[in-house]
Amino acid sequence: MYLPSTCLIVLAMATQSSALAPLAAALVQTPPSEPEITRVPVPPEATGRLLAQPEGEPLKTSRELLIMEAWPVEQSFRVTKDRLFVAPYNRWGLMHADAILPTAVIGRGKGPVVPLLAGVAIDVDDVMFDDKDGRPMRVGDFFAATGLDGVLVLHKGKVVFERYENGMSRDQPHMMLGASAAFPALVALTLIHEGRLNAQVKLIDYLATLEYSAWRGTSLRALLDMTASVRFSNGAALPAPNQLAYEVACGLVPPPKEYVGPLSLMEFVRSMKDMDAERPHGDAFRFIPTGIDVTAELVRGKERATLARVIEKRIWSKLGAEHDARMVVDAHGTDLAALGFIATVPDMARFAQMLANRGQWNGQEVVPGVIALDVLAGGNTAMLARSDVAKLLPGGSYNAGWWNTDKAMGAAFLWGAHGQTVWINQRAEVVIVRVSSHSSSDSDFLRYNEIRAMDAIVKRVAGGT
């Protein structure tokens, strides 16, 4: 026991008595020494931010890179908000976003877990496909080069392949990024089906707060088709509405010193006041993530609840999921509908299989069958053909958060930055969920090869060899 100095005077007096001296000697002890802290040696070259590996190489794991591997964590290896999506820190960050960003819980409900039964195992690592340059490539090598964290393949609802890398497990949640868009869009389609929203009515009739924005004249149908005409730049020039300002408003990155723009998501949405002069609403496809956020605001207004709570009530609690999901929120508690969904790979597979089953799952209709068929059937191919995405998806389309390949390939899929994929081939009865932490958020190497690899896996699994 260590006693503070205020007690020592009393004990000093006690030592004058021979009877009390042993007691005093027992009580007065040396203060405990500070425990030793084991530090991981810092490589001499790592004096600043770690650099991303060149694209195409097998990516090192977060542990191999010493990211968040010691305590206290050296600055060079620490994942902070401004590094969450930056390679190679995203190797740790996309699996632990809820430790850095505020989130809302999407409860799994109180029912039993619906098991994913095992089927006949098929090793997809050795499946070959022609890469974007026409050269043969193994699926396993593609996974390694794009920072695979986890992958699960279902055939006729049964698990035929499952693997986790980079310290991930089947119980570890992962940020889904752009694949998050499926959830607000699915709820919006359901509200249309129920007659509570009209896809053709102008948004201003539902959301008075958009009166002075460029969104006022568009419709929910245009949001679901990604044909709303709103000026948005992928650059970082300030103060125009662009990707940097969007990330700041979402609370994903700290504002730059000179930043004077919106500091919350809906403030950013309302700040988008200019239409694209070259295209009226509904005339041409252009992917703008904020359109998903506006869709979510329609859902929140109609359901009078947060998007997280709506997803929980209408979808997640009915899946027999193993775990709660989460949704990243901004400084005002607004759900980041376009990129904030966090869940485990098996639970995302349950969600995808439910849609592949035409909305039926766990003995009930989770989503009206007509809606499940609609999102998987695809959208307007002519609209996408006039966009810059056409070179990546010839004959493809976009519909309510889902991308669609041409009819011959027959797949509908969700895409997220850094390699998040939910792939459904209803005809072949194959579902693939893949989460990754690739160095690039979006690149030809990632996207072109991703489509080819997923299709090659489907053919191998459906063929049964």
**Cα–Cα distance list, 375 to 182, 193, 461 (Å):** 9, 13, 23
DSSP H helices in 243-368: 243-250, 265-271, 290-303, 307-314, 345-356
* pLDDT at residue 194 tops 80: yes
Q: Cα(46)–Cα(29) distance, rounded to whole angstroms?
A: 43
Could you name the CATH architecture of 105-193+305-463?
3-Layer(aba) Sandwich (3.40)
- Of the listed ranges 43-52, 63-72, 176-185, 441-450, the least confidently predicted one is 43-52
Structure tokens at 421: 């994929």
Give the pLDDT of residue 278: 64
Average pLDDT of the chain to the nearest whole number: 89
Give the pLDDT of residue 67: 96
Extended beta strands in 94-200, E state: 103-106, 128-130, 136-138, 148-155, 158-164, 174-175
The pTM of this model reads 0.88
Give the pLDDT of residue 239: 56
pLDDT, tens only, 269-318: 999 998 775 677 778 899 999 999 999 999 999 999 999 999 999 999 99
Give the pLDDT of residue 173: 98
Structure tokens at 184: 């607000």
CB 321 within 8 Å of CB 394: no
Residues paired with 148 in a beta bridge: 436
